[in-house]
């Protein structure tokens, strides 16, 4: 059987989180009444002219720099001409031959190995409006609230070899954009959109296979699922010797398949030409350097630094830096406790589980770094058991009460008094004759049961190792 | 006639009402609106400049009924300064033309001979001023659309430097060439009106933040020492009407007599200007006019599917010349042709620009005819687009180079038709043009002759 290889490239559109649109002063607030946030410019009325939003430009430069792109000194816009009723001028102001940034890269982790995904280009453009098709009647409506919102198009090289890599790339990209604080990256609200190009060829074959462009995926998972489906479809066709046509296909999440939308023969000629309403301008090197030096530490660098400074596995530090809030919290807690490894375990384990189940970010909770540090210290010093610690964590996260206070108030300290512990153990031995007999007959599980009973009797306040040793000692004689 | 002895708006209104049926200079006015304005500074506005709540249609069927919700920057300025807007003037559809014949509202007639065209595309504004319906008007000049009709109607037309006057609210024909200009009965009014509408505007990224002088301070008769360049390319052996040639020769003598010096210059790329223009201008126009699709405003021809609606609306809404230019522009931007046409034309444009900057090292202004001929007959060139395009042969280069130009009356043909001369200057050299034009006007009597209507 032949082996195949898959070649994937992604085109990501990110809505920049500026307060106003890219070429006019209209608000970009989400979920407003239709056409409430419009003006002559974003409605494309005759005679209205675009003026570049400086903040959108800054966000675009930050992103390009954050993705390691080269930035050209000349910033120029072009018109992309096509007819669609959600595009009020029937052309989109975009960038064509001189994208704002080019030749960058984004690192991903697949199966424990690093892989560099090259970024071909990053360019700034305006968004279109939205068509609304009511279920009844034969009219459609246009809402231009989104028209003119600042969009950044980020195009990867076809460096992705599997749907999983595509998923990892999107995750890494999102993480960078969030660190830079330039976009919400909310795929459901449409602030991040992704189109994928995929082709499959026999391994080692010269040239690429025929590609399909896939659209209409509204989550990272959907991107992965759609690519898995396409990969299978292409392989099947190659296996059977069927012809694959170059086309655009839509992902149907409900059915879990893609459908042909249009073939490339109907592809449009966009007749790009320089936008005469916006004068090209140059950006000084010093200005770019100034923006660059103001960038926050990005996930990649942070991951390496955390692993180095706190002696963490790169896998763990990689998980910690996905969310800048988590990474920042980790550092504060690690410093306060001087037990970074344990802090990382808590954050990646119980804390993350709590956040996921509640669907909140760490910043939205009352959890303080000092409190997690204190909890780690309490467990480490044997003051409380790990079990007790797990038990009181939700209270610490939800209410922001210091762990020591909870321990004191609820009397949760481990029993330090040896005599008290001995008395409890003796009681357990006396009350569980069968288990005692079993243990003496060589059944190890019986010991576990007895330890459990003792823990239960102390409401978890005993040190299980100590209890176990004590029982063993008592039953020896 | 200066502003001091200008009658009140009401008197102008009476003249407009009496003469318009004959001239067809105005296409829209709301009488009550205008009467409410007590100002005695009446201005006519070309129908491609947006006035909030007033019909602004570019004399096209496709913008039937369109009333912009906002004022163009020049309109805001005129309103603030107390000018009275008298109505919208006729033009070639979307400013595509040199004769004012392609209007959906029918042609405007030249007040000097109603069998002839007034020039275009700002023919309505020029005819209105020439007929004394208003003392001044706004036009727009993409390839000569202010200067050529001013010349053909015997009045003063100024196209300012690209970026001197905000384009915000001017309905675009070719964005990199369009500039709002003034059409006035005299040079003094030109200086006043340009000062009223000019200046940097943050709503127009192509407007330039260069301090604007008080142009009326340059209404002096002293032009001693100014060097006027005479480009041989603008005085060709053939294609230049003999009356025009003779008037220009007289004009040279007058300038010399006023103390200016004449210097021979060369603008070698002039011969490519018209071809270059008819690539760049339609290319931009094809994109600028894409928005007229029946979705939001203007004409909509209903159809079951959106593409059919586009097709029917645009087929029914645009006139012949508009369709010709949209096709031309779409063609030159198409993949496979872009390099050969658009890109090449942009390179030629740079050469033309360089010609001028070179020339201006040895002169302060350039003197040329405005139009190769006086006003031609209505219908004469409608079926010959190439001949029509050549009407702008002397005015187009200034748009490609972005420099200012003015047309001033300099004579009459044997048929008693006005002839104009054109003066060009460096970017933001409008004051030089006003100095020279005013001195010439004051030294001659041409501006005092009025058409008999």
Q: What is the pLDDT of residues A97-156, one digit of tens each?
A: 999 999 999 999 888 788 999 999 999 999 999 999 998 888 889 999 999 999 999 999
- Using CB atoms, pick whichever of A45, A142, A272 lies closest to residue B68: A45
In chain B, residues with a C-beta closer than 8 Å to the C-beta of A278 are 205-206
Cβ <8 Å between A83 and B69: no
Work out the pLDDT band at B4, boundaries 50, 70, 90.
very low
- Using CB atoms, pick whichever of B48, B169, B287 lies closest to residue A79: B287
The mean pLDDT of chain B is 95
Residue A448 contacts residue A472 (beta carbons within 8 Å): no
Residue B105 has pLDDT above 90, yes or no: yes
- Using CB atoms, pick whichever of B287, B296, B334 lies closest to residue A269: B334
State the best of B45, B281, B287, B336 to mutate against chain A, taking most chain A CBs within 10 Å: B287
Provide CATH code, domain B3-268+351-448: 3.90.1300.10
In chain A, residues with a C-beta closer than 8 Å to the C-beta of B295 are 85, 88, 142
In chain B, residues with a C-beta closer than 8 Å to the C-beta of A272 are 333, 338
State the best of A53, A78, A141, A273 to mutate against chain B, taking most chain B CBs within 10 Å: A273
Which pLDDT does position A161 carry in this prediction?
96
**Residue B70: closest CA among chain A residues belongs to which residue?**
A40
CA distance A17 to chain B (A): 23
Average of per-residue pLDDT across B442-450: 97
Q: Dump pLDDT digits (tens) for B187-199.
A: 999 999 999 999 9
E strand spans, A209-362: 212-217, 247-252, 257-263, 273-274, 281-282
State the span(s) of chain A assigned CATH 1.10.10.410: 418-476
In chain B, residues with a C-beta closer than 8 Å to the C-beta of A49 are 167-168, 203-206
**Residue B304: closest CA among chain A residues belongs to which residue?**
A138
Closest CA to B128 of B20, B28, B39, B55: B20
Chain A and chain B share a number of CB contacts under 8 A equal to 101
In chain A, residues with a C-beta closer than 8 Å to the C-beta of B333 are 81, 271-273
State the best of A93, A276, A279 to mutate against chain B, taking most chain B CBs within 10 Å: A276
Written as six digits, the tokens of A94 are 């975009």
Cβ <8 Å between A90 and B205: no
Q: Rounded CA gap, B296 and B50, in Å?
A: 17
* DSSP letter (8 states) at residue A113: E
Which pLDDT does position B314 carry in this prediction?
98
Written as six digits, the tokens of A10 are 């992604």
SS3 A84: coil
CA distance B326 to chain A (A): 13
- Using CB atoms, pick whichever of B203, B295, B333 lies closest to residue A273: B333
Segments in chain A below pLDDT 70: 1, 263-267, 477
The domain spans of chain B are 3-268+351-448
- Using CB atoms, pick whichever of A51, A52, A89 lies closest to residue B291: A89
Residue B389 contacts residue B274 (beta carbons within 8 Å): yes
**Residue B296: closest CA among chain A residues belongs to which residue?**
A88
Q: Return the bridge partners of A7, or none.
A: A199
Model-level ipTM above the cut of 0.90? yes
Q: A451-459 long-range CB contacts below 8 Å, 24 or more apart?
A: A453/A428, A454/A424, A454/A425, A454/A428, A455/A387, A457/A424, A457/A427, A457/A428, A458/A415, A458/A421, A458/A424, A459/A412
Which pLDDT does position B1 carry in this prediction?
40
SS3 B210: coil
Residue A73 contacts residue A282 (beta carbons within 8 Å): yes
**Residue B176: closest CA among chain A residues belongs to which residue?**
A276
**Residue B169: closest CA among chain A residues belongs to which residue?**
A47
Q: Return the bridge partners of A124, or none.
A: A152
Residue B212 has pLDDT above 70, yes or no: yes
Q: Rounded CA gap, A257 and A249, in Å?
A: 10
Instruction: Count Cβ atoms below 10 Å from residue B380 Cβ, excluding itself.
Output: 16
Which pLDDT does position B286 carry in this prediction?
98
Q: Dump pLDDT digits (tens) for B291-343.
A: 999 999 999 999 989 999 999 999 999 999 999 999 999 999 999 999 999 99
SS3 A141: strand
In chain B, residues with a C-beta closer than 8 Å to the C-beta of A276 are 174-176, 206, 284
Q: What percentage of chain A's residues is helix, strand, coil (to nearest 5)?
A: 40, 20, 35
Cβ <8 Å between B169 and A269: no
CA distance A271 to chain B (A): 5
E strand spans, A16-100: 70-71, 74-75, 78-81, 91-94
User: Among all residues of B, which ones are annotated catalytic?
Assistant: 46, 121, 145
SS3 A369: helix
**Residue A46: closest CA among chain B residues belongs to which residue?**
B171
CA-to-CA separations, B87 to B28, B61, B172, in angstroms, rounded:
6, 18, 20
Burial B357-368 (b: 16+ CB within 10 A, else e): eebbeebbbbbb
Which pLDDT does position A189 carry in this prediction?
82
State the best of B47, B291, B338 to mutate against chain A, taking most chain A CBs within 10 Å: B291
- How wide is the angle at C-alpha B327 spanned by C-alphas B326 and B331, nearest 5°? 115
CA distance A150 to chain B (A): 18
Cβ <8 Å between A279 and B206: yes
- Using CB atoms, pick whichever of A49, A83, A140 lies closest to residue B167: A49
Provide CATH code, domain A418-476: 1.10.10.410
Which pLDDT does position A412 carry in this prediction?
76
Residues of B with CB under 8 A from a CB of A: 48-50, 56, 58, 63, 66, 68-70, 72, 167-172, 174-176, 202-206, 283-284, 286-287, 290-291, 293, 295-297, 306-307, 310, 330, 333-335, 338, 342
- Using CB atoms, pick whichever of B56, B204, B291 lies closest to residue A90: B291
Q: Dump pLDDT digits (tens) for B401-416.
A: 999 999 999 999 999 9
Cβ <8 Å between A46 and B176: no
Cβ <8 Å between A47 and B203: no
What is the crossing angle of helices A433-440 and A418-431, to 10°? Answer: 90
Rounded to the nearest angstrom, the gap between the alpha carbon of residue B146 and the centroid of all alpha carbons in its chain is 2
Chain position carrying tokens 């805001």: B76
Work out the pLDDT band at B385, boundaries 50, 70, 90.
confident
CA distance A59 to chain B (A): 20
- How wide is the angle at C-alpha B392 spanned by C-alphas B386 and B395, nearest 5°? 155
In chain A, residues with a C-beta closer than 8 Å to the C-beta of B72 are 47
- Using CB atoms, pick whichever of B72, B286, B342 lies closest to residue A47: B72
Pairing of strands B418-424, B405-412: antiparallel
């Amino acid at each position: 059987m032949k082996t195949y290889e898959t070649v994937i490239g992604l085109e990501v559109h990110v809505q920049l989180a500026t307060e106003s649109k890219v070429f006019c002063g209209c608000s970009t607030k989400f979920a407003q009444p239709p056409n409430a946030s419009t003006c002559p410019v974003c409605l494309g009325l005759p005679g209205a002219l675009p003026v570049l939003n400086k903040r959108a430009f800054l966000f675009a430069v930050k992103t390009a720099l954050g993705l390691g792109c080269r930035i050209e000194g000349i910033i120029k816009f072009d018109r992309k001409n096509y007819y669609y009723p959600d595009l009020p001028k029937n052309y989109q102001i975009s960038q064509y031959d001189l994208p704002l940034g080019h030749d960058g890269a984004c690192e991903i982790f697949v199966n424990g190995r690093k892989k560099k995904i090259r970024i071909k280009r990053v360019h700034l453009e305006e968004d279109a409006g939205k068509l609304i098709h009511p279920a009844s009647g034969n009219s459609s409506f246009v809402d231009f609230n989104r028209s003119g919102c600042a969009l950044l198009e980020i195009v990867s090289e076809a460096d992705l070899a599997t749907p999983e890599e595509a998923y990892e790339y999107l995750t890494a990209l999102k993480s960078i954009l969030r660190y830079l604080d330039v976009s919400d990256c909310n795929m459901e609200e449409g602030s991040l959109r992704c189109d994928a190009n995929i082709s499959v060829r026999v391994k080692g074959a010269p040239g690429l296979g025929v590609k399909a462009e896939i659209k209409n995926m509204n989550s990272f998972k959907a991107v992965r699922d759609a690519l898995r489906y396409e990969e299978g479809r292409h392989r099947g066709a190659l296996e059977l010797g069927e012809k694959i046509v170059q086309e655009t296909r839509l992902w149907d999440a409900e059915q879990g398949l893609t459908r042909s939308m249009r073939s490339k023969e109907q592809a449009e000629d966009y007749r790009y030409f320089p936008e005469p309403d916006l004068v090209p301008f140059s950006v000084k090197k010093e200005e770019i350097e100034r923006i660059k030096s103001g960038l926050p530490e990005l996930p990649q660098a942070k991951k390496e630094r955390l692993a180095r400074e706190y002696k963490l596995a790169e896998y763990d530090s990689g998980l910690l830096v996905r969310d800048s809030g988590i990474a920042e919290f980790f550092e504060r807690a690690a410093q306060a406790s001087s037990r970074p490894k344990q802090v990382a375990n808590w954050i990646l384990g119980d804390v993350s589980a709590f956040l996921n189940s509640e669907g909140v970010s760490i910043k939205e909770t009352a959890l303080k770094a000092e409190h997690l540090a204190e909890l780690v210290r309490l467990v480490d010093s044997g003051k409380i058991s790990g079990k007790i610690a797990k038990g009181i964590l939700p209270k610490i996260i939800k209410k922001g009460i210091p762990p020591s206070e909870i321990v004191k108030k609820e009397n949760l300290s481990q029993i330090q008094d040896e005599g008290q512990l001995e008395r409890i153990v003796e009681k357990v031995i006396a009350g569980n004759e069968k288990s005692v007999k079993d243990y003496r007959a060589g059944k190890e599980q019986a010991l576990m049961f007895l330890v459990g009973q003792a823990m239960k009797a102390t409401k978890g306040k005993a040190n299980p190792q100590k209890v176990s040793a004590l029982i063993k000692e008592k039953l020896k004689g | 006639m200066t502003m001091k002895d200008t009658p009140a708006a009401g008197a102008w209104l009476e003249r407009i009402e009496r003469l318009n049926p004959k001239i067809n200079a105005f296409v829209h006015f709301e009488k009550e609106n205008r009467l409410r304005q007590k100002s005695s500074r009446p201005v006519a506005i070309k129908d491609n400049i947006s006035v909030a709540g007033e019909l602004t249609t570019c004399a096209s069927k496709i913008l039937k009924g369109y009333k912009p919700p906002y004022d163009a920057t020049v309109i805001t300025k005129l309103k603030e300064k107390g000018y009275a807007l008298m109505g919208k003037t006729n033009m070639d559809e979307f400013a595509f033309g040199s004769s004012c014949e392609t209007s959906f509202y029918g042609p405007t007639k030249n007040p000097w001979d109603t069998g002839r065209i007034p020039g275009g595309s700002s023919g309505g504004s020029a005819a209105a001023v020439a007929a004394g319906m208003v003392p001044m008007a706004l036009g727009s000049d993409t390839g000569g659309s202010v200067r050529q009709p001013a010349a053909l109607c015997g009045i003063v037309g100024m196209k300012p430097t690209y970026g001197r006057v905000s384009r915000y609210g001017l309905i675009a024909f070719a964005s990199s060439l369009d500039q709002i200009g003034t059409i006035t009965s005299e040079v003094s009014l030109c200086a006043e009106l340009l000062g009223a509408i000019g200046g940097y505007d943050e709503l127009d990224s192509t407007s330039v933040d260069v301090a604007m002088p008080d142009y009326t301070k340059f209404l002096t008769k002293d032009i001693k020492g100014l060097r006027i360049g005479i480009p041989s390319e603008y005085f060709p052996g053939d294609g230049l009407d003999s009356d025009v040639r003779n008037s220009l020769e007289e004009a040279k003598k007058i300038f010399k007599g006023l103390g200016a010096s004449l210097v021979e210059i060369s603008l070698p790329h002039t011969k490519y200007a018209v071809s270059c223009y008819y690539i760049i201008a339609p290319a931009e126009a094809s994109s600028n006019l894409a928005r007229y699709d029946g979705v939001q405003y203007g004409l909509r021809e209903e159809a079951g599917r959106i593409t059919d609606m586009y097709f029917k609306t645009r087929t029914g809404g645009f006139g012949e010349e508009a369709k010709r230019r949209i096709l031309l522009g779409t063609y030159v931007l198409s993949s496979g042709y872009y390099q050969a046409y658009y890109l090449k034309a942009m390179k030629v444009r740079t050469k033309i620009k360089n010609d001028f900057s070179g020339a201006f090292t040895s002169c302060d202004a350039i003197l040329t005819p405005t139009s190769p001929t006086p006003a031609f007959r209505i219908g004469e060139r409608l079926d010959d687009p190439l001949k029509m395009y050549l009407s702008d042969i002397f005015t187009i280069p200034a748009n490609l180079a972005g420099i200012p130009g003015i047309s001033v009356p300099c004579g009459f043909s044997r048929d008693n038709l006005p002839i104009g001369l054109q003066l060009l200057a460096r970017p933001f050299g409008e004051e030089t043009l006003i100095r020279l034009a005013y001195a010439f006007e004051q030294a001659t009597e041409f501006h005092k002759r009025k058409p008999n209507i």
